[in-house]
Every structure is written in structure tokens, then in C-alpha cells.
Chain A
Amino acid sequence: MIRLLRRYFYPSWIRSGRVVIGLLIVLAVLAAAILAPVLAPHDPAEQDLMLTFQPMRLGSPFPLGTDGLGRCVLSRLLHGASLALKVAFIAAIGAMLLGAALAYAAGYLGGWVDWTIGRAVDVWMSFPPVVLSLILMVGLGTGASNVILAIILVDWTRFCRVLRSEVLVVTRRDHVAAARLLGFTHWRTLLLEVVPATIPLLITLLALEMGIAVVVEAILSFVGLGVKPDQVAWGQMIADGREAIYQAPANLLAPVAAIFVTVAGFNLLGDGLRRTLDVRLVEGRG
């Protein structure tokens, strides 16, 4: 009877408030990033040393004020969004591809492949992630593509570990064995019987990883090991705004708020998707 009740209570992911709010935030940030050249009142690099540390005032030419070099904070914030999102999307997808490929290999093939990949992940995860990414940045040099590479090289383990256990569970299900008995090749079995069952988890991890990538990019930019100095990045804005916290607090608070909202959006989306897509949470086994 309970199974019947559950079957009738068929939740669709859109019904989750978390997913809707998270998606709206991410879409808003994405729109800001794409439309930054149109929306921004000024060129983000345009300096006016006569108008430094202007206060926040709606209706003025500088709604969020200006920084120490007289650059428009709002314009820089909008342009910073495009870098943050670019890094978030590419780095998260890159980490997913690397981590997932190894996770499928480890979980499906098992045996010594699993053992080797598992130990590699162990070793990799024993480095503190921030330190590892800083070392990588020092070695690779600054620049947006190097930030992305550093995030991929650090965070693939997150995907690998979580996904591997899921792949292991799915691979042990009888329908995977049945597919092999019916003459499916390994490749086909993996692609048609194992991968589809792990897609919800993958999407969830991807959304969460995007939030993490935004934070890591901000950290690297904050310490000056992120993008090149002529590119706008939120982390860099925080580093600059730190010194003028009393004259123009918006210089610090605006990028902090931007990071907070973006990461919250990704996390809400990820959490919402986990709750609605994860079969174990929705149906149980009863």
C-alpha cells in the first residue's frame, strides 16, 4: 500500500523550491555576465583619478561607487561575473569529465584498475586543496585558462570518489549482468545500463562543483595568483577593496555579496537536484 502511495506521489524536479530558486539565481548571474557590455554603465578598466572612492548612490553615474583608481564598481562586478561563470562552467565540466571517466573505469572494471585509481585518489586528496591549487598556479603561471586547469586538476577527485561508489552499486545490479548475458559488449553495457543510472548524481555533483569553482577562482585571484591583472575578477576586487573598507565599503562588500549569491545559487540548485533526482531519496526500495 505504501508503495502505491509512493507511486502516486510522483515528484517532478520542478516542484522543488530549491531547484527553482537556485536556477533563477544562476540564470540571473548568467544574464548579467552575458549582458555585461550592455548593462555596465562604464568600461570596467576606465580610470578617473579625480573620482576615486565615490560613495554608493542610486541614480548617480556610479551606483555602487568607484574604487581607488576611480573605476566603476558596478561595471567591474558585472564584467567579473563573466569570468566567474566561465571558470565555473568549464572547470566543473572538465573536472567532471576527468573524474567521471576514471570513476566509471574503476567502478565498472573493478579489480586492480579500481585499486590503482582508488590509491591515486587517496594520494591526491591528501594534499590540502588550496595549497595544491596555489602550487599549481605558481607552476603554471597566471591566466584564466590556468585557473581552470588548476581547478580541474584539484577537484576531479571529488567526482571520482563519489561517483565510483555509485557505479559500483549500479554495476552489481542484476540488469547489468543480464545485459552482458544477452550479448551486450562491455562498452554498450556501460553506456546503456550503468551510465544512465548515474546521470542524476553527476548533474548534482556538477552543480555543486560550479559553486566550489567560483570560490576557488576568487581565492586564487585574491592572492594574486588567478587571472592576469588586466582582467576583472571578484577575488581581485575583494583584495583591492580590503584597503578601503572604511572609505568605500561597497568596494569590498559588493564582490563578496556577488560570490555569496552565486555560490548559494549553485548550491541550492545542486541540493535541490539531489533531493529530487536521487532515486534513493525519492523512492527508497519499499
Chain B
Amino acid sequence: MSLLVARGLTLEAEVEGDIVPVFRGLNFALEPGRVLGLVGESGAGKSMVGRTIAQLLPPGFRVSHGTMEFDGADLVAMAPEHRRSLLGREIAFIPQEPLTALNPVLSIGAQLDEHHRRLGVRGRRTLREYALAALAAVHLPDPAGLLSRYPHQLSGGQCQRVLIAMAFAGHPRLVIADEATTALDVTTQAHIIALMRELQRASNTAVLFITHDLRLAAGVCDDVAVMYAGDIVEIGPAAQVLGASRHPYTRCLQLANPPMLGTRRALYALPEQMPGLRALARLNGCRFAPRCPVKADYCLRIDPPLEGDLHRSACLRPGLVETIEVADQLAPPPWRPAGETPVLALDHVSKTFTTGTWPRAVEVAAVRGVSLRIAPGEFVAVVGESGSGKSTLGRLVVGLEQPSAGRIALAGTDVTAGDEAARLHRVATVQMVFQDPQSALNPRRRVASIITQALEAEGAKFAVREKRVRALLAEMGMPLELGVRMPGQLSGGQRQRVNIARALCSVPRLLVADEIVSGLDVSVQAQLLLLLHRLRQDHDFALLFISHDLSVVRHLCDRVLVMHGGEIVEEGPTETVFGWPRHEYTRTLLAAVPR
């Protein structure tokens, strides 16, 4: 008998007085001891499934039909007291942000005790034993010492282990992990996933694993349900759904994901983006149809049922899914003559930060003796985990930080001094694309004004700027009307395009891009990568691409530098480094990437 069953679950939301159907009769079942992955891009409604189970729906959302049954009892209709007695005991949650999920003013021990008391454990000595056992079960070193520590003294991975310990403490029958590893580094993610699998197998728990990462889902889950705009479009055994997709959306997502193995193929860039809540009201028929490459007219009218036996998909034309293809080979990078002056040259550059105040000031080295060369037109990646110094390296190059030691030269001119002359040379040669467009775009400027800020600094006339706006928007593949919008009115992908357009406005010879595709959906990421490839063919700029995502790096860059502890531990052509890693750390990093 299934542990968790959704039967015709219909969720409605009230948006500006209109009732919008979010889920139109959701059906799925989760057997005890199995892992069901819910995958899809942001806005697909994955998290709403978890929220429906806990009945923690945002205001305006309500279940109008159908049931969500846990062990035969409907969680929606159940009395709140009954549901509360199940949550945390029979049903446990592992949250996305481990640092914010723990109470910062209580020690780890106090929080474990509180949780155990709720589970019915009594007595100080027994509580301590339980707490130690829980920490030992998640392989945390020195459990006794950890009890008196506070969340901010632990790393993100350690906090997530504590939360996993709490989740499995009551021997739950169902665990809901909502993007449980998204905020963690890739090597930490691999450990956390292994730990969850181990605990899940040991206690035969069922897990609802919510993630946006298809590759991760393929490795972790027994079954996978792909969601799009509130509909489950494909569900079945993971190997079949992700290996032999029967729905065009699943197929497109997989083709949009840059592969870690095999040839560096082109990516499939789905046009536009997932419809928002408001747009769902006007969507009849198949919700994916407006973006579908193999749609027919009738797809827009008929709502396809989920069909099949074990592996079910909701598509009226499943036979055409195989025909969605991308080019096997990437276009080669433009040819460059050898022996040009490097556009960027770093010689033994170091940067130390001082934290704390005298007399307790501590010097922390973020970058240690880094030397590198970037030739004109070359795409170079810097990879490493958080804290490896890769972002500081980028900031040193553009001059937001000044080096403590070493020499920086841009296009043959020494800019180490960081004086006014160096600044003006930098303005003319290097630009930066920042990670978070929310912070990088002035919310009070219009798009047109943002992307021509470089001209504004030169004091260009309005007509000149207007012409450049037209050219830049066309190049970024954005309609001209967007020029009058504010950044707050744009989607995430559009904002990142504006971000790139602003940096390209002054035609720099080197572009420093810090994590510009992380945090974006796979289909939007593919659009941006495609854009960068195209810009490379049309323009003559080199790229220093700072990223933690190895598959994106493999897709985009010619050469890769691996950073660890502020040093470059390995460098070489991307294919060579990823295919035959020599340094221990590079091997660890590569082994941790789900494939």
C-alpha cells in the first residue's frame, strides 16, 4: 500500500480577485522506502506539493478538490491537531537553507533536546544520549563538543547534517527534502546525498525529493515526476523518465543541461520562460504547448491525460519527442593568431584581508601568489568551492580590490597601482558582470538607461545612446519595448541579459563574469550560454568566467583554472583537466558532480 497518495489534487489560488487553478488534478503515489523526485524549474509548483502536505499554503491558496493521503488519512481534511501530531514525527522536513532553519540563539544541543522532547524522550541523561546518537548517525565528528556550539559556528554542510539528524530522529515514514542541497558546495552536496540515502535505506523511509537538478535527481531517486506549471507532465522510474523521455519538456530540459560526459554538444534553448501564476488562468489545453517545439494546434485546446503504465507522460504527440535534437558539435571558437599580447596578465598576485580590530586583528589570505595569462578572445574559467578566493580574484582584476602583492597588467599596461590612470585604463578594457542582478541593477533606472551607463559616463548625446540601446537590445535578443521597463518588471533571465548588455556597452576586451548563470533555471541558463557563444562569434572579447558549476564551464570555456585555498592548483585546457585531472582536489571536485 502506498504511503503518500495524491488523488486528483486541485489547488486554487486567488490572484487579484480571480481564481487561478494551480494544480489541475495532481495524481502520484509514493511507496514506503522509495525516493520520489519532483523535478522542474522554478515556478513549476514543486514546493507547493510539500506545502500542501504540511498545509502551509501561502495566503490565497486552497485545495478545492482531491485528497493528499498519508497512510490512508487525508492530510487536507484532517483535524489540525492530528496533522500536527504527524508532522515532525511520521512526516519530517529537511529545509533548503540550513543556516536559517536553525535557531541562531540556541545551541545545537538545546535544539536537539527540544526536538527529542517533542518525540517523547524524557530525562536529562537520556536526552543527551539521544542527541549524541543523532549526531553520530550523521557522521559529525566530536558530537559531544558540537552540543554546546551555536549554528553560526558550524558550516552550511554541518548545519544540514544536524537538520537531517533531527528529521530522521523520530524514525519518520516520510521525509520531504525541498532543495536540501541547493545551498551547499558540490563536494558537500555529494556527502549529504550519500548520508540521506544511507539513513533512508536503514529505516526504510520514503523520501519526497524536490529539486531543480535533473542530474542529481537521476542519481538519487527511484522514481521521478517532472512538473511544469503545476502539472505533472511525466512520471515513472528515474532511469526511464530521464533516459528515454516521452514528454517534450523533459527532453528539452535534458538537452538544455550541459553534459559532463561525451562530446561538448550544443544546448537546446527553450524560448521564453515558464508562465507565471497570473498567466495560468488563460492557459487551456497543454500548459507546455506555447513553448513546445513539436506542438500542434490541438495541443492548445486539449488537456492531455497522463497516460502509460509504469512510465506515464502527458503528451498528445509522444512520438515526436525523439525528433527534438541539437547539434552534436559546438562551433569552434574564432581563430586567433598566436603570440598576441595577453589581455590579462597576473604575476604572483596575493590579497590578504584583515578581519577584526587591533589587537585581535587576523590576516586572512584570500588569494595567494596567483599567476595567469588570458589571450585576447579566450574564454577562461575559474572553478572552485565557496571560499576558494575565486570571487576575490575577479574583483582584483577589475580593480574593486587592490592586490597586497604582485603585478596586474591589462592589455600590456600595468594597472597594479590602482590610481586614476589605472582606473581609466580599466574602464576602457575590462568590465564585470555581477552575480546577482537584483543587486547589480539600480532598481530606479530604466533598462535603456542602465545598458548605456558607460555612454552616460562619457557624456554621450541622447541620440547616440538611443542608437546603442537599439543595437544592444537586439543583440541580447530582447524586444525594444523592454528598454522603458524597470529592472523589477523583468524576469530573472532578462535581468541577467541587461546585466551583460551593460558590461558590453563600452566594448571591453575582457569580461569578468562572476557566477552569472548560477541561480537561474536550466532553460534560462541555456539561453544565456547560447547568447555568450553568439556574442563571442560577433565580438572580440575574452572572458574570465568564475563559476562553481563544472558542467557549464565545460560547455563554455576553452581553458580552466582550479582554485583551492586561494591558490591555482591545476590549470589547462578544459577537456584535459576534466578528462585527466592531476591534482587531488580537482579529482574530488569532479567526482562530486552528479552525472
Interface residues of A, Cβ cutoff 8 Å to B: 1-2, 4-5, 7-8, 173-175, 177-184, 188, 193, 196-197, 279, 283, 285
Contact = CB atoms under 8 A, between A and B. Distances in A.
Given A2-B58, A5-B15, A8-B15, A178 B457 contact: no
Contacts of A183: 424, 427, 454, 457-458, 506
B434 A178 contact: yes
Interface stretch (B152-160, B435-443, B546-554, B567-575): B435-443
A188 B399 CA distance: 18
B506 A182 contact: yes
Nearest to B14: A5
B432 A8 contact: no
A285 B502 CA distance: 23
Nearest to B505: A182
A175 B15 contact: no
A7 B426 CA distance: 38
B488 interface: yes
Contacts of B542: none
B72 interface: no
A175 B443 CA distance: 9
B427 A181 contact: yes
5 contacts: A5-B60, A179-B442, A180-B400, A182-B453, A182-B457
A5 B489 contact: no
A36 to B, nearest CB: 40
Contacts of A7: 488-489
- For the complex of A and B, 5 pairs with smallest distance between CB atoms: A183-B457, A174-B440, A183-B427, A174-B434, A175-B442
A181 B489 contact: no
Instruction: Please classify how large the interface on chain B is, using the bins under 10, 10 to 19, 20 to 34, 35 or more.
Output: 35 or more
Interface in B117-168: none
A4 B440 contact: no
B453 A179 contact: yes
A194 to B, nearest CB: 10
Interface string B103-114: 000000000000
Contacts of B13: 1
B100 to A, nearest CB: 13
B80 interface: no
Contacts of B457: 179, 182-184, 188
B593 interface: no
Contact of B444 (A1, A182, A184, A196): A196
A173 B439 contact: yes
B276 interface: yes
A137 B506 CA distance: 57
Contacts of B442: 175, 179, 193, 196-197
Nearest to A173: B439
Contact of A5 (B277, B440, B505): B277
B16 interface: yes
B398 A181 contact: yes
Contact of A4 (B277, B426, B505): B277
Contacts of B488: 7, 283
B427 A175 contact: no
A175 B439 contact: yes
A180 B430 CA distance: 12
A196 B446 CA distance: 14
A38 B17 CA distance: 51
B440 A178 contact: yes
B523 interface: no
B399 A4 contact: no
A279 B503 CA distance: 26
Contact of B441 (A2, A8, A175, A279): A175
A1 B453 contact: no
B397 to A, nearest CB: 11
A181 B426 contact: yes
Contacts of B458: 183
Contacts of A5: 15, 58, 60, 277
Nearest to A175: B442
B431 interface: yes
Residue in A4, A8, A178, A196 with the greatest tally of chain B CB atoms within 10 Å: A178
A165 B380 CA distance: 38
B43 interface: yes
A139 B444 CA distance: 46
B295 interface: no
Contact of A181 (B15, B277, B431, B444): B431
Contacts of A174: 434-436, 439-440
B278 interface: yes
Nearest to B280: A1
Nearest to B395: A177
Interface string B447-464: 000000110111000000
Nearest to B427: A183
Nearest to A188: B457
Contacts of A193: 442
Given A5-B60, A8-B278, A178 B432 contact: yes
Nearest to A194: B442
Contacts of B435: 174
B451 to A, nearest CB: 11
Given A4-B276, A174-B439, A196-B444, A181 B432 contact: yes
A176 to B, nearest CB: 8
Nearest to B438: A285
B532 to A, nearest CB: 18
Nearest to B48: A1
B406 to A, nearest CB: 21
A1 to B, nearest CB: 5
A184 B426 CA distance: 12
A194 B162 CA distance: 41
A129 to B, nearest CB: 30
B50 to A, nearest CB: 14
A7 B491 CA distance: 12
B359 to A, nearest CB: 17
Given A181-B398, A181-B399, A1 B502 contact: no
A282 to B, nearest CB: 11
A259 B398 CA distance: 56
Given A183-B427, A197-B444, A178 B502 contact: yes
A1 B431 contact: no
Given A4-B276, A182-B427, A182-B431, A175 B440 contact: yes
B353 to A, nearest CB: 15
Given A173-B439, A178-B432, A183-B457, A1 B426 contact: no
Contacts of A283: 488
Interface string B21-37: 00000000000000000
Given A174-B434, A181-B427, A182-B454, 20 more contacts: A1-B277, A4-B277, A5-B60, A5-B277, A7-B488, A173-B439, A175-B442, A177-B400, A178-B432, A179-B457, A180-B400, A182-B453, A182-B506, A183-B427, A183-B454, A183-B458, A188-B457, A193-B442, A197-B442, A285-B438
Contacts of A8: 15-16, 278
B98 to A, nearest CB: 19
Nearest to A283: B488
Contacts of B276: 1, 4
A150 B15 CA distance: 53
A137 to B, nearest CB: 39
A173 B444 CA distance: 13
Nearest to A8: B16
Contacts of B400: 177, 180-181
Contacts of A188: 457
A183 B444 CA distance: 19
Contacts of B440: 173-175, 178
Contacts of A1: 13, 43, 48, 58, 276-277
A285 B443 CA distance: 12
